[in-house]
Structure 1
Amino acid sequence: MNSPQYDDIDDNASIETDTNISAVMWTDPLLPSPPSTRRRRRLLDRHAIRHVEREQARSTATASTSTSFRHMRQTVLWWWNDWFHTLAYQKTTTLITYLFITYVTLVLTFAGLYYTLSRTIGCEMDLHVLMEALYFSLSTQATIGYGVSDYYFGGCWTPFGLVLVQVWTALLFDAVAIGLIFQRLSRGHKRGKTVWFSRVACIRRVQDQWYLYIRLAEGRRHPLIQTQVRGYCVRHERYRETASPNHTLQTTHFVTRPVRWLESHVWMRLPQVLVHALDATSPLVPPKDGWYDAQGHWRSTSDSTTFNESLQEYWQDRQLEVIVLLEGIDALTGSMSQTQHSYTLENIVWDAQFVPCVRPDTNNNGGCVVDFAQFHETQPVNEDTPCPYL
């Protein structure tokens, strides 16, 4: 099998979107055996994103990443300069706990002030014990009404000012609490949990050209609108230090190369298959002139007998990861939702394509039936097998 020619990687790699329908599956396909079986840590944690393999009804998509940030100074100051979003990104139970503690603290603080005022100035507040001050503070904050003998506190201005401050503080607290809780309950990434990504990606050859296939689908009857798909290739780069007499191998940071999707708006009413051509412009293939591996050895595409071997060696050495992001608008709330998924070498099925999961509905005189039991399933193919996505 002849390997395709490679040129220098271009950032403007194209990916085509196909509107043909295909399907889902739960059996584990045979994956290629990479040079090393050690499971490395992903940049995007799939287990934190999606539990489709374990709980089909709970397809997930939380934005969890294994990226570590070190030596960040003044972290607490940065967080509290944007305290609203700091609290909004807390867990719902944690947020409610914080709000309850704050509410109780306000009641206790003003109760102490009222009790001190009643013991020192008086003003006919009738607060003889601390418990009465607590009830008075709670009544003020909740605007329940007072049970004191003199509603006007003997004409004193000090209780008026203190009650005014507490009522204003309570209004601000209620506004913030309602805003935070509403923000948590209506957050967009929860909506993205209903978007399914195929557990594996397929790579196959069609008429002397190799392609990468990824399938996605919407799990709700009311899909996201204005849906866009973007892809990123994250990999580790290496180069020779020419100034060094020993030609020491230098390793750069992870670089992200965009994988641009042609006509990236997708229709989520039915499952979609995203197709990316693994040609000279793709950031997923080795450069034409060759590359250095982790040991500093020069590797050429001609060293591998097949395209499969060349691609596997390159992906394994570069720790390459394909991250797919899907964004759309929920028609009911108008909020933007985003979900993401990642694929590494261990998630690739070679010389295969997805099993169709959409069939005509013969019982209702038209329409389609989506069989999500076949969504992740693949079947082996050869080069002559027709490809419905091209």
Structure 2
Amino acid sequence: MHHRQYTSVNRTDEITVKAEKEPQPNKYRYVRKEGSCNVVFRHVPEEWLLFVTDIFTTLVEIRWRVMFLIFALSYILSWLFFGILFWVIALAHGDIKDPNTDPCVFEVRSFTAAFLFSLETQTTIGYGFRGMSENCIIAIITVTIQDVMSCFIDTFVIGIAVAKMASARKRAQTVGFSNRAAINLRNGHLFLSWRVGDFRRHHMVEGTATAQIVRTMMHTTGKVDVTYEDLVIQQKDIILVTPTTIYHKIEPGSPLYNMSYADLREATFELVVSFTYTDDSTGILHQTRTSYTPEEILWGQLFQEMIRVGRKSYRVDYNLFHRTEKVHIPLVSAKESEEKKQLHLAQHSPHAPDIR
């Protein structure tokens, strides 16, 4: 008596096979859907010193509103600092008390005038009312230092702004993954698949796809063990001209080889996938990541075709990027499916013994 190996599934039917225990949703994701890691570091040695030492990277990673606030304060505080210096120089030289003396700086007889002179000097506005004289060498030295510092501030601000606009994270948002992964049949074997696509036009990028099974185990003592298992990907080097479906063959050595549909519904692992590539416009290395929980891996689903052939070009319909359709697929594990297939071939082999 042969066991039933395949279950026929129509497109409109739902799979009703349930595990003995209902799947328990993971409380935390290791990698969020948008690709950021759900990890918080605590008690890092000399954390603030690390941020200050690598100040350029720190400013590139902060939010735009915080960066604008910091840059605005850097200009305002520098104007204020040198304004105070010019005011002190005017006080020491007697320009404020005696308006008839030859001043160090023309038309600087108050703190407000000193602040305005500092602003005009650093921004090179030059309204024509205030200017340096040759009476105070200390004032000339102060103006020289302020000019040099203004060049450093401008260079730093422009560099940070350009780096943030050309950030790899922004480009990575234009390369995305499908919302779900799928398990289906190809050439008689079970395959795990997901889809990746570049949402921008006229960008041919070549990259490498990777995937890992991440498992977290919490002990009663509070210790957490995190283990990683690599998945072998078929044709992992991809030229992303059009959206591409990435496949992992579920074969001996795969972490999913012994996993059936019921086992998948009970599993607590997380499938972390990534696509690392170099943008042809900027030459910057990017990486796009996402993750799939067992609830987001669809058993017996196949991604719909997105590419159609037009009269003059290929057409890609991104409305179908996340869509799947049901297909015929065994509900047993790949291992059990292969064993049944081998048993079926052995029983129907012409050299098989006749067992009565």
Give the shorter-chain TM-score range: 0.7 to 0.9
CA apart distance, 1:216: 1.4
Amino acid at match of 2:115: L
Larger radius of gyration: 2
Alignment match, 2:240: 268
Relative distance call for 1:224 and 1:366 in structure 2 (3 A) is closer
Deviations 1:308-340 (A, max 9, x none): 223433x22xxx111111122222222222211
C-alpha distance in structure 2 between counterparts of 1:74 and 1:225, whole Å:
39
Matched position secondary structure for 2:206: strand
**What is the TM-score with the length of structure 1 in the denominator?**
0.72
Measured in 2, the distance between the counterparts of 1:226 and 1:353 equals 25
> Does residue 299 of structure 2 align to residue 350 of structure 1?
yes
Question: What are the ranges of 5 or more consecutive residues in structure 2 without an aligned counterpart?
Answer: 6-13, 96-102, 331-356
Q: Residues 195 and 128 (structure 1 numbering): CA distance in 2 closer, same or farther, change over 3 Å?
A: same
Task: For 1:102-251, list aligned pairs within 5 A.
Answer: 102-121=74-93, 122=95, 123-125=103-105, 126-145=107-126, 147=128, 151-206=131-186, 209-236=189-216
Cα pair 2:304 2:325 within 8 Å, conserved:
yes
Query: What is the SS of the residue equivalent to 1:172?
Result: helix
- Superposed, which structure 2 residues align to 1:29-44 within 5 Å? 35-44=22-31
Q: How do 1:13-28 and structure 2 match up within 5 A?
A: none
Deviation of the 1:206 alpha carbon: 4.7
Could you say what secondary structure the match of 1:155 adopts?
Answer: coil
Structure 1 residue 207 displacement after superposition? 5.9
CA displacement at 1:124 relative to structure 2: 3.1
Confirm or deny: 8 A CA contact 2:265 2:295 kept in the other structure.
no
Q: Does 1:308 align with 2:261?
A: yes
> Given the superposition, is the C-alpha separation of residues 283 and 356 from structure 1 closer, same or farther in structure 2, using an over 3 Å criterion?
same
Size of the aligned set, in residue pairs, is: 310
Deviations 1:13-36 (A, max 9, x none): xxxxxxxxxxxxxxxx98987723
CA displacement 1:54-92 (0-9 Å, x = unmatched): xxxxxxxxx422112222232111111101100110112
Q: 1:145 to 1:238 in 2, by over 3 A?
A: closer
Q: For 1:140 and 1:31, locate their aligned partners in 2 and report how far apart those are by CA, in whole Å.
A: 76
Determine which of 79, 84, 88 is the counterpart of 2:60.
88
- SS of alignment partner, residue 134 of structure 2: helix
- Note the residue ranges of structure 1 that are not aligned, 5 or more in a row: 4-28, 50-62, 240-247, 287-305, 385-390
- 1:8 match: none
The answer as to whether partners of 1:228 and 1:326 remain within 8 angstroms in 2 is: yes
Q: C-alpha separation between the residues in 1 aligned to 2:17 and 2:172?
A: 30
Task: Confirm or deny: 8 A CA contact 2:206 2:240 kept in the other structure.
Answer: no
User: Which residue of the other structure, out of 285, 309, 325, is the alignment partner of 1:336?
Assistant: 285
> Closer, same or farther in 2 for the Cα pair 1:256/1:112, shift >3 Å?
same
Over the residues paired in the alignment, what is the CA RMSD in angstroms? Answer: 2.9
Amino acid at match of 2:304: V
Identity %: 24
Partner of 1:387: none
Task: Say whether the 8 Å CA contact 2:210–2:275 is kept in structure 1.
Answer: yes
TM-score, normalising length: structure 2: 0.78
- Aligned amino acid, residue 190 of structure 1: K
